[in-house]
């Protein structure tokens, strides 16, 4: 059984992040709805392509060195070495900014050739403006990861997942009314990132006392680079993975196909909302118990379990009615992307069921393995993409991405088991998956027989989690950690609702 303090910490920190992810996801959907309805598929596709190129250069230039922060800083803080913790953050910040400035210069110099490569002249001007995003984004990532490292997810979530998405929507809508069209999105992204940097710096100096009180003791750069180099390479590969579909679709197909894929991708990967809530806090939780395999495996299994419970209903909702959601949220022009939603959801479900295996590898120091997994993903994605996109269009891109994500996640689980003898599964895990299969079978005929798309869209997100919990309860799938958390939640709410739900 997992220690009760660990259960509370994982639940509270992940819960904060999950709440932020939900708000951020809804805000993101609202932004895309506004953009697609205001610009149409062609212009939105051009913006997506420009943003993808910018993010690729960002990943190549900032070297993802910020990923060293949530490995070293928790260890320094555990030893009360505040000067070393501050020195690590400052050193990483300097490295990230230096690289991103170089990347911004590269974008400025090669904006025209890049526009010619994709046969889209309007890209050149967009890239010249978006290059401002690189140093700002690098600084913001360092600051956000710093909040994670000191276990103040409330600060990170308040800024990154609530303040900034709402500010971005308001800014973009205002700029649309001012007639800036596609540049409303460009300047919206830049101004939002700048605000995030300003607010984060303000909070760190005012709300994290030790940061302003101690003198930074900079670590040996070689130590950071030795840990970060494989992660930097992996980060570059991961960045390419996140954008390669858009680049390949933009190269082989028209810009409106980029827009349709972007919308379908955003919907299909919506089930990652839970996994991405757990992973930021999970790596520091593993780094602080290195050497205690019992603690590591209990945390690994608990995190994977809760990710599964919260992800399966989202998956069922998406694959049962993808065309409904695309048509209602966006326009019928984007409803043709429904197969993409299903294919991507399957790939990312495999990723979610694998738990935070990547954070286990990173937290235990296997950064080179993380890099190799990323290379595997990129090779599969690019290879299948080049082969399938010219023949099957955006469906080919979805197959390539889903295959690469599922393969990499499975490899990560196998590697953790091989190197450490740890895996995240037990008999109750099988029950969770089987209940998910029954959940899909229960709602499939109801969706097929319904004559109202609006009714389906509203009822599925409400009913699928309720029925899933009922199925788990009937199968006796809840465990002691679930019961303890239910008791904690009930105590805060002054009721017994959660304990009643999971009691056998």
pLDDT of residue 140: 93
User: Which position has the higher pLDDT, 75 or 190?
Assistant: 190
- Contact between 306 and 13 under an 8 Å Cβ cutoff? The reply is no
Tokens linked to 292:
């205690």
Side-chain-side CA neighbours of residue 107 (13 Å): 31
Of 358, 308, 262, the residue nearest 33 (C-alpha): 262
Q: pLDDT higher for 494 or 43?
A: 43
Mean pLDDT of the chain: 85
| Top-ranked range on mean pLDDT: pick from 10-19, 145-154, 225-234 | 145-154
Burial 185-216 (b: 16+ CB within 10 A, else e): bbbbbbbbbbbbbebbeebbeeebeebeeeeb
Say yes or no to pLDDT of 76 above 90. Answer: no
Instruction: Tell me which range, 150-154, 274-278, 411-415, 487-491, is most confidently predicted by mean pLDDT.
Output: 411-415
Q: Dump pLDDT digits (tens) for 335-393.
A: 899 999 999 999 999 999 988 888 788 777 777 787 788 888 889 999 999 999 999 99
499-502 contacts at long range (C-beta below 8 A, 24 or more positions apart): 501/469, 501/473, 502/469, 502/472, 502/473, 502/478
Tokens coding 403: 């295959």
Residue 325 C-beta-side C-alpha neighbours within 13 Å: 27
pLDDT at position 161 is: 85
Closest CA to 49 of 133, 117, 100: 117
Per-residue confidence at 283, pLDDT binned at 50, 70, 90?
A: low
Q: How far apart are CA 59 and CA 103, in angstroms?
A: 9
Distance CA 204, CA 193 (A): 17
Q: Does residue 416 sit in helix, strand or coil?
A: helix
Predicted confidence band of residue 105 (pLDDT cuts 50, 70, 90) = very high
Tell whether the model's pLDDT for residue 2 goes beyond 60: no
**The predicted structure's pLDDT at residue 314:** 92
DSSP notation for 223-258: HHHHHHHHHHHHHHHHHHHHHHHHHHHHHHS-HHHH
Q: Report which of 342, 282, 335 is spatially closest to residue 306, judged by C-alpha positions.
A: 282
Cβ neighbours around 13 below 10 Å, total: 23
Asked whether the predicted pLDDT for residue 416 surpasses 70, the reply is: yes
pTM value? 0.77
92 SS3 class: helix
């Amino acid at each position: 059984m997992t220690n009760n303090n660990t259960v509370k910490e994982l639940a509270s920190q992940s819960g904060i992040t999950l709440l932020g992810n939900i708000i951020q996801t809804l805000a993101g959907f609202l932004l895309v709805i506004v953009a697609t309805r205001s610009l149409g598929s062609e212009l939105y596709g051009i913006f997506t392509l420009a943003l993808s190129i910018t993010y690729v250069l960002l990943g190549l230039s900032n070297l993802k060195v910020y990923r060293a922060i949530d490995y070293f800083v928790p260890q320094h803080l555990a030893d009360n070495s505040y000067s070393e913790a501050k020195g690590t953050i400052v050193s990483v910040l300097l490295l990230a900014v230096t690289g991103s400035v170089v990347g911004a210069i590269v974008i400025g110099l090669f904006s025209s050739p890049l526009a010619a490569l994709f046969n889209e002249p309007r890209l050149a001007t967009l890239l010249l403006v978006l290059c401002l995003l690189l140093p700002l984004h690098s600084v913001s990532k360092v600051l956000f990861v710093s909040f994670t490292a000191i276990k103040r997810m409330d600060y990170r979530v308040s800024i990154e997942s609530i303040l900034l998405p709402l500010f971005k929507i308001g800014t973009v809508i205002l700029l649309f009314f001012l007639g800036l069209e596609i540049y409303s999105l460009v300047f919206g992204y830049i101004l939002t990132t700048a605000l995030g940097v300003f607010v984060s710096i303000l909070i760190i100096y005012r709300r994290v006392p030790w940061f302003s009180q101690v003198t930074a003791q900079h670590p040996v750069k070689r130590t950071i680079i030795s840990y970060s180099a494989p992660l930097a390479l992996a980060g570059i590969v991961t960045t390419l993975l996140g954008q390669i579909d858009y680049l390949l679709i933009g190269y082989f197909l028209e810009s409106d196909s980029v827009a349709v894929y972007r919308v379908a991708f955003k919907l299909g990967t919506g089930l990652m909302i839970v996994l991405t809530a757990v992973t930021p806090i999970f790596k520091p939780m593993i780094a602080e118990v290195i050497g205690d395999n019992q603690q590591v495996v209990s945390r690994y299994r608990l995190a994977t379990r809760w990710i599964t419970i919260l992800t399966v209903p989202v998956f069922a909702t998406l694959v049962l009615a993808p065309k409904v959601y695309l048509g209602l949220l966006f326009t019928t022009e984007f409803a043709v992307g429904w197969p993409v939603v299903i294919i991507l959801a399957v790939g990312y479900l495999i990723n979610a069921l694998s738990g935070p295996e990547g954070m286990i590898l990173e937290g235990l120091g296997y950064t080179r393995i993380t890099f190799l997994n990323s290379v595997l993903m990129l090779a599969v994605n690019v290879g299948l993409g080049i082969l399938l996109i010219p023949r099957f269009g955006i469906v080919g891109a979805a197959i390539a991405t889903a295959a690469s994500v599922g393969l990499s996640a499975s490899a990560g689980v196998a590697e953790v088991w091989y190197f450490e003898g740890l895996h995240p599964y037990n008999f109750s895990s099988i029950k969770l998956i089987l209940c998910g299969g029954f959940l899909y079978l229960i709602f499939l005929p109801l969706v097929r027989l319904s004559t109202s798309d609006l009714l389906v869209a509203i009822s599925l997100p409400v009913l699928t989690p309720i029925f899933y919990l009922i199925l788990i309860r009937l199968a006796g799938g809840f465990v002691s950690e679930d019961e303890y958390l239910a008791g904690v939640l009930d105590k805060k709410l002054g009721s017994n609702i959660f304990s009643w739900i999971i009691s056998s």
